[in-house]
Amino acid sequence: MNVMNDLSADALRMRITQHLTYTLGKDKTHASLYDWRMAVS
């Protein structure tokens, strides 16, 4: 399954969390609202 082409809610949630963790360097429990907004954008 190619996650980049999968538009399910679970796939989107996983990609946002990956971006938050690996690109922005934040973990889910300590991320601020700003961090989450940056992960989504």
35 within a domain of the structure (yes/no): yes
* Cα–Cα distance for residue pair 19/11, rounded to 1 Å: 12
Which residue type, as a one-letter code, is found at position 33? L
Task: Please give the full DSSP string across 1-39, using - where no structure is assigned.
Answer: --TTT---HHHHHHHHHHIIIIIS---TTT--HHHHHHH
Q: Is 3 a domain residue? A: no
Contact 20, 28 (CB under 8 A): yes
Is 1 domain-assigned? no
Per-residue model confidence (pLDDT) at position 1:
52
Contact criterion met (CB below 8 Å) for 28 and 39: no
2: in domain: no
Q: Total structural domains in the chain? A: 1
Q: What is the pLDDT of residues 1-40, one digit of tens each?
A: 555 566 799 999 999 999 999 999 999 999 999 999 999 9
Q: What's the predicted TM-score (pTM) here?
A: 0.77
Domain of 32, in residue numbers: 9-40
Give the pLDDT confidence of 23-33 residue by residue, as tens digits: 999 999 999 99
Predicted local distance difference test score (pLDDT) of residue 7: 76
